[in-house]
Amino acid sequence: MQMFPKFVAFDLETTGLSNAKDEIIEIGAVKFTLEEKNGQIVPKIIKEFQTFVKPNMMIPEEASRVNHITDQMVENAPTIGECLPKFTQFCGQDSILVAHNADFDAGFLRVAYQKNPQLIPANPVIDSLRIVRNIMPELPNHKLGELAMMFKRRNAITMNIAAGEMHRAVYDCEMLMEVLVATLKRRLKTTEWDMSMIMKVLPKYGGEPQYINKGK
């Protein structure tokens, strides 16, 4: 019997683009596995995780314009040191982490864990952006929202895509889950989705893993 792996699609919202000076203000994640329906591999959500994070700085106006998160929204939120253990526990030890442009998200997490010493996840982290660029290089745009809308037009995903919801962490994670599976279905055989095969197959399509607990 085929055993499907567990994935955690995760997304961070931050005060800016530099993990050296900016901070995480929201963590969202969706843990999912796969199932076979009508001969098709489709994602199956297990659980979701979301928390605002109180940063040690004011949120710049330009960041709020993108992610719609304000200082008032994070005023009573837990600190990153309080949020990380919950995120680690949510991920578990047996899941494959996925982020769209993983260098950005994994980089911010790596700095956060270093500044708040504790157990650092040893899970592999794969970059869905590299996978999409590898499998569909002909596309003019590889942004997550654009990919989700394209797959929706092709009836390759079932979730409703609303532009106004984008750049909120859990919603982006659900889009990421759908886009990853829809993209990989173009290349993977059913047997290659098995947990014993998946990490051997992904590097062929740009899914070479990195690790939060190892320097980049």
d(CA 213, CA 119): 9
Among 118, 182, 111, 109, smallest CA distance to 144 is for 182
Residue 104 predicted with pLDDT over 90 = yes
Q: For residue 167, is pLDDT > 70?
A: no
Q: Is the pLDDT of residue 159 over 90?
A: no
Q: What is the mean pLDDT of residues 163-176?
A: 77
Task: Report how far residue 75's alpha carbon sits from residue 97's, in angstroms, rounded to the nearest whole number.
Answer: 29
For 65, 68, 113, the CA distances from 11, given in Å and listed in that order, are 17, 15, 16
- The residues annotated with a catalytic role in the active site are 167
Report yes or no: 8 and 97 within 8 Å, Cβ to Cβ.
yes
Residue 2 confidence (pLDDT) above 90? no
* pLDDT at residue 216 tops 70: no
pLDDT of res. 76 = 97
The residue ranking higher by pLDDT, 76 or 119, is 76
**What pLDDT band is residue 166 in, cutting at 50, 70 and 90?**
low
Q: Which of 88, 169, 180 is nearest to 142 (CA)?
A: 180
Residue for token pair 């790596």:
110
pLDDT of residue 164: 62
Q: Which of 115, 101, 103 is nearest to 55 (CA)?
A: 115
The model's pTM is 0.94
Interval 8-46: pLDDT, tens: 999 999 999 999 999 999 999 999 999 999 888 999 999
pLDDT at 163 over 70: no
> In the prediction, which pLDDT does 168 show?
67
Cβ neighbours of residue 68 under 8 Å, at least 6 residues apart?
Answer: 167, 168
Domains of the chain are 6-211 (3.30.420.10)
Residue of 1, 33, 3 whose CA lies nearest to 181: 33
- Per-residue pLDDT, averaged over 175-184, amounts to 96
